[in-house]
Structure 1
Amino acid sequence: MQALRVLTGSWKMQTQKGEIWERWQQEKHQLKGVSFSVKAKDTTQLEDVILGIHNGKLSYAPRTSGDAESKRVYFTLVKQSATRFEFENLQHDFPQRIVYQFFGTDSLHAWIEGPINGSLQQQHYYYKRMQ
């Protein structure tokens, strides 16, 4: 968990449609994150995440925003290095894997991946630290 504190702070990715942000803060023995998009003056929360211990294992647990029925999906840490963290839940439809790869202290490449219609699909997110 200590190594993942590098995530703490605000991260921004510029897209053609606006900005995507992730904000992470330490709260007791876990990290809490929120992602949201900003288009012109409209801000929409996308999901909130708890990064902490679940059933004895370090887990990445997102919950989609705006859906009252949405429940957390737990992805367990399966691989880790000083700059890369991989979380996996092979029972989930999409994504099945979430990866965070850090480059220095101010760049982050995150991606999600899993099967869609029988082929591996990925969505990439390239963030810069804002604070």
Structure 2
Amino acid sequence: MAKKPWFRSSLLLCVCLLICRFVSAQVSSSEFNQLDKMEGRWVMKTKRSIYREHWKRLDENTWKGRTWRISGADSTQMDEMQLFRTAEGIFFSVDAVRDPQSGQPVRFKLRVLKPVGFVAENLECDFPQKVVYRWKGNDRMEAHFEGKKDKTFSEIIMQYEKE
């Protein structure tokens, strides 16, 4: 009687687990309402300035956000963001991150959307490759922009409180 190699059954189990994880990580268009926690005005105070992020739902398929930096009496709009639902899925875009060929904002596809936040990725983007928003209760939100840039990992973390 030949002994069955242990690695065959282990390999099969790993493949099954990866498939289950991939299938469960798909974001459904019907989950779009989980983004409702974003609505409102958010603020992050630092030693030198104040950052404000304002999110508003435009219609049943679109959220729009804006970020400002306020330093003393000066106010500068830093960026505009969008979360939008299409037939292909749910996407996040930032005006400052543009495709060099088309000049259009890069789309980051939502890979995870849960009641505690979302993860959006575009691995072909120069920086960032991943955008993560997390809600910590109803009054705190974190925005992470992360990825590799010139062989160096970088991460920007914004910690907001609801106004």
Give the distance between the partners of 1:34 and 1:73, measured in 2 at CA: 16
Residue matched to 1:28: 59
Q: Which amino acid is 1:36 matched to?
A: W
Higher share of residues assigned helix: 2
Alignment of structure 1 residues 24-63 onto 2, 5 Å:
24-29=55-60, 30-54=62-86, 56-63=88-95
> Between Structure 1 and Structure 2, whose CA radius of gyration is higher?
2
Asked if structure 2 preserves the Cα contact closer than 8 Å seen for 1:63 and 1:70, the reply is: no
Higher share of residues assigned strand: 1
Asked if structure 2 preserves the Cα contact closer than 8 Å seen for 1:64 and 1:70, the reply is: no
Deviation readout 1:15-63 (Å, 9 max, x if unpaired):
1220111101111121111111001011101111111124521001110
State the TM-score, normalized to the length of structure 1.
Answer: 0.90
Q: Report % sequence identity.
A: 25
Deviation readout 1:89-117 (Å, 9 max, x if unpaired):
11110101000011100001111100023
State the TM-score, normalized to the length of structure 2.
Answer: 0.73
129, 139, 142: which one pairs with 1:106? 139
Over the residues paired in the alignment, what is the CA RMSD in angstroms?
Answer: 1.7
Query: Which runs of 5 or more residues in structure 2 are unaligned?
Result: 1-31
Query: Which runs of 5 or more residues in structure 1 are unaligned?
Result: none
Residue matched to 2:22: none
Give the distance between the partners of 1:109 and 1:45, measured in 2 at CA: 19
Residue matched to 1:16: 47
